[in-house]
């Protein structure tokens, strides 16, 4: 591999000749050989949107000439299009402000912009990473801005469509199964009846509420730190810079949510409570998905020695030793994702608490964990929908058997013979392995006709006057 010499304020560095990055990026590569978790591409894209908007605004404020502005814009567009992939090698485990990643994008854009202007960036740079690409900015305000841009874009692009997909499937299934009466269960014990449609309707509402909570967090995420520069004072930035950058970002990204200048830049740099709010909403979604996945796999357990009220798609062999075994693998995958997201939320919460004085220095790990949570939740909901939920079917034979065998149908008799007499019937039937009807008649509490009149499972699935 051929190398060239690049310089920064710390001295000279050898940089691969085929890469656009410079000395600061190379210095980070050598100083932080930690893990395999590279800076998420969504952060790089967020930076590209931001650097483009900053160039546009600096030009409008007569702080950046037209040629440099157009070259920076084109370079940023190429970053978003993936044409410069391979030039962003830095790991998450770097400086807590994300300075090296900010300089990575600055160096790459400056080199490519120089090339666009007709000069070999290896020999001379017409566009400077700090003085031009980073004009009026600091890593301390650009990194939190880039990550919030990434969060909002990914929520719209990935998470919300995935929630809608799974929710719509459960809406259809709930309607399809609305007349199938089954036994309910609480405490892992028999309870009173409900319909299978009612049972699945809870999942619809879970997903609706989870999305509403995530959407509620966006009102904090659209407040951007840009313009705060180093400590929140806005040193070296124009007074109109922040507001103008937000306006340009809204034109570029065309999100459903308008970015605005954070009303208090000191808050924007030192605190990430908005990120904790988002992570908490993702954690709540993970909790609901854990519940849904566990319910489905319990109801589908068997096929002969479990509950077996639901049949789910058989996607792959479940055992390397037991022939014919099929497992609820989509549920298992989704519960593992849920556990990971719950762990990510703990990481984000602790990281956000570490805002010392004017700057939180856990920004990369916050960004990494939230973006991973968004990605994992989106992917698992799509997979669970396509490979499991759409294929859920009732096992009517088992549903009917459990319904008719349940002792908790006795609850319908409370208004007629009282709680204690109803309990006596249930306990006696359980002890003697007989039916409720048999014991009700034998105990002289009801006639056959009265029992049939009062105990109708389908009438127990809704309140009555």
Annotated binding site for substrate: 97-99, 128-131, 138-140, 186, 320, 325-327
Q: Residues 372-387, buried b or exposed e (16+ Cβ, 10 A)? A: bbbbbbbebbebbbeb
Q: How many angstroms separate the CA atoms of 151 and 340, rounded?
A: 18
Identify the residue whose tokens are 């006596």.
Answer: 424
Q: Would you name the residues annotated as active-site residues?
A: 187, 319
Half-sphere exposure (Cβ direction) of 438: Cα atoms closer than 13 Å: 11
Burial of 179 (0-12, 13-18, 19+ CB in 10 A): exposed
Residue ranges of the annotated binding site are 97-99, 128-131, 138-140, 186, 320, 325-327
Sign, Cα dihedral of 299, 302, 306, 307? positive
The structure tokens listed for 261 are 């200048």
Pairing of strands 260-261, 223-224: parallel
Q: How many angstroms separate the CA atoms of 106 and 139, rounded?
A: 10
Q: Residues 282-300, buried b or exposed e (16+ Cβ, 10 A)? A: bbbbbbbbbebbebbbbbb
Nearest to 289 by CA among 350, 178, 373: 373
Q: How many angstroms separate the CA atoms of 153 and 155, rounded?
A: 6
Q: How many angstroms separate the CA atoms of 157 and 6, rounded?
A: 38
Q: How many angstroms separate the CA atoms of 28 and 102, rounded?
A: 11
């Amino acid at each position: 591999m051929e190398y060239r010499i690049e310089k920064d304020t710390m001295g000279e560095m050898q940089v691969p000749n085929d890469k656009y990055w410079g000395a600061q990026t190379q210095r980070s590569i050598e100083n932080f050989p930690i893990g395999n978790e590279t800076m998420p591409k969504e952060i790089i894209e967020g930076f590209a949107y931001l650097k483009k908007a900053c160039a546009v605004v600096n030009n409008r404020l007569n702080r950046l000439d037209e040629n440099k502005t157009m070259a920076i814009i084109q370079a940023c567009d190429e970053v978003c299009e993936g044409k410069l992939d391979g030039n962003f090698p830095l790991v998450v485990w770097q400086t807590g402000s994300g300075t090296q990643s900010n300089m990575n994008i600055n160096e790459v854009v400056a080199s490519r912009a120089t090339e666009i202007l007709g000069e070999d960036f290896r020999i001379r740079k017409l566009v400077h990473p700090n003085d031009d690409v980073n004009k009026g900015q600091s890593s301390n305000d650009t990194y939190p801005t880039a990550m919030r841009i990434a969060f909002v874009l990914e929520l719209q692009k990935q998470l919300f469509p995935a929630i809608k997909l799974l929710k719509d499937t459960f809406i259809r299934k709930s309607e399809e199964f609305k007349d199938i009466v089954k036994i309910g269960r609480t405490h892992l014990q028999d309870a009173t009846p409900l319909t299978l449609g009612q049972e699945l309707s809870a999942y619809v509402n879970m997903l609706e509420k989870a999305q509403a909570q995530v959407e509620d967090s966006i009102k904090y995420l659209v407040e951007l730190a840009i313009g705060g520069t180093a400590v929140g004072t806005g040193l070296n930035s124009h007074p109109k810079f922040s507001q103008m950058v937000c306006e340009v970002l809204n034109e570029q990204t065309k999100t459903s949510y308008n970015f605005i200048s954070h009303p208090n830049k000191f808050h924007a740099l030192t605190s990430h409570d908005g990120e904790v709010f988002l992570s908490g909403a993702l954690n709540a979604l993970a909790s609901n998905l854990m519940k849904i996945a566990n319910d489905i796999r319990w109801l589908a357990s068997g096929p002969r020695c479990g509950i077996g009220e639901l049949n789910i798609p058989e996607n792959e062999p479940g055992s390397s030793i037991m022939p014919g075994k099929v497992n609820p693998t989509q549920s298992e995958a989704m519960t593992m994702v849920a556990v990971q997201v719950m762990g990510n939320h703990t990481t984000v919460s602790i990281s956000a608490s570490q805002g010392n004085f004017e700057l939180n220095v856990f920004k990369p790990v916050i960004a990494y964990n939230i973006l991973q949570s968004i990605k994992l939740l989106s992917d698992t909901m799509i997979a669970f929908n396509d490979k499991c939920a759409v294929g859920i079917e009732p096992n009517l034979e088992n549903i009917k058997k459990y319904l008719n065998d349940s002792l908790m149908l006795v609850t319908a008799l409370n208004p007629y013979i009282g709680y204690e007499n109803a309990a006596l019937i249930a306990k006696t039937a359980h002890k003697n392995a007989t039916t409720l009807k048999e014991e009700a008649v034998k105990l002289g509490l009801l006639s056959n006709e009265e029992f049939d009149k009062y105990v109708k499972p389908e009438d127990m699935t809704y309140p009555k006057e």
